[in-house]
């Protein structure tokens, strides 16, 4: 495919610790990392996210811009960019309360050769659900390829049963589904991709793949 790739997902600044000492600071999130990898490979990538107009946000936008990702339509109006601490295998998220308004953006025009990638907490967040659903519906009408990546390993989803109706709604509009390492256990209480393909996703899509490492997401999107 030669169309642009529009990725809708969270941007955050991650700080990695070793023996209680911070050793690395970097932009994070499966969708953000995939956007950078795809842009560096030469694809036209638009990244739609909420990124604070603060120092952590500037670090993130500088990284995305350096990779060649178009962030001109990202929402820079949130109070603070989310910070994630990775300490001895435990992840802790810190962020300011949101403004309740969701994305403050003009959604990009979609063409039939484009790829739309969405998922994660944004795909089940009531703040942006209506806007996102409208955009995805428009993309479906324009015959774009829709890839849904559940990415539900998130502490903001304390009970998966509460958001399953939205997850099924997302599956209804997808052409492809890509699950990340923790998705199957959280969604279906098993970790068998073949079983998931047969029992859980066959009704919705023919094109399903499971990744054992989130770093493989960019390659999976481009296939």
Q: What is the CATH number of the domain that holds 12?
A: 3.40.1190.20
- Of 47-61, 88-102, 135-149, the one with minimum mean pLDDT is 88-102
CA distance 169 to 161: 14
Among 126, 123, 153, residue whose Cα is nearest residue 135: 123
Q: Under 8 Å CB-to-CB from 210, ≥6 apart: which residues? A: 178, 179, 183, 184, 193, 196
pTM for the whole structure: 0.95
The whole-number pLDDT of residue 98 equals 65
**Does pLDDT of 1 surpass 60?**
no
Q: How confident is the model at residue 194 (pLDDT cuts 50, 70, 90)?
A: very high
The two beta strands, 176-179 and 207-210, are parallel
The whole-number pLDDT of residue 79 equals 72
Give every strand in the sheet of 176-179, ordered side by side. 45-48, 5-8, 115-119, 145-149, 176-179, 207-210
Which pLDDT tens digit goes with each residue over 54-68? 999 999 999 999 999
Q: How confident is the model at residue 202 (pLDDT cuts 50, 70, 90)?
A: very high
Which pLDDT tens digit goes with each residue over 151-188? 999 988 989 999 999 999 999 999 999 999 999 999 99
- HSE, CB side, 13 Å, CA atoms: give it for residue 181: 6
The whole-number pLDDT of residue 56 equals 94
What is the count of structural domains for the chain? 1
Q: How confident is the model at residue 88 (pLDDT cuts 50, 70, 90)?
A: confident
Phi, psi of 106, deg, nearest 5? -100, 115
Q: Please, what is the angle between helix 30-40 and helix 55-67, to 10°?
A: 30
Range of the domain at 205: 5-222
Phi, psi of 99, deg, nearest 5? -85, 0
Among 128, 218, 125, residue whose Cα is nearest residue 180: 218
């Amino acid at each position: 495919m030669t169309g642009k790739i529009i990725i809708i997902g969270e941007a955050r600044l991650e700080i990695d610790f070793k023996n209680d000492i911070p050793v690395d600071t970097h932009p994070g999130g499966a969708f953000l990392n995939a956007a950078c990898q795809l842009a560096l490979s030469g694809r036209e990538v638009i990244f739609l996210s909420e990124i604070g107009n603060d120092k952590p946000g500037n670090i993130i936008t500088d990284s995305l811009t350096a990779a060649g990702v178009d962030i001109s339509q990202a929402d820079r109006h949130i109070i603070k960019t989310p910070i994630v601490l990775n300490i001895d295998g435990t992840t802790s998220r810190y962020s300011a309360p949101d403004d309740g308004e969701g994305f403050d953006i003009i959604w990009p025009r979609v063409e039939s050769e484009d790829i739309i990638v969405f998922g994660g907490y944004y795909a089940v967040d009531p703040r942006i659900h209506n806007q996102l659903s409208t955009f995805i519906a428009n993309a479906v009408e324009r015959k774009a390829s829709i890839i849904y990546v559940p990415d539900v390993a998130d502490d903001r989803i304390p009970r998966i049963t509460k958001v399953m109706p939205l997850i099924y709604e997302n599956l209804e509009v997808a052409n492809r589904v890509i699950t990340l390492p923790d998705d199957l256990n959280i969604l279906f209480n098993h970790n068998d991709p073949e079983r998931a393909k047969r029992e859980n996703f066959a009704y919705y899509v023919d094109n399903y793949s499971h990744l054992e490492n989130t770093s493989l997401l960019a390659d999976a999107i481009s296939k």
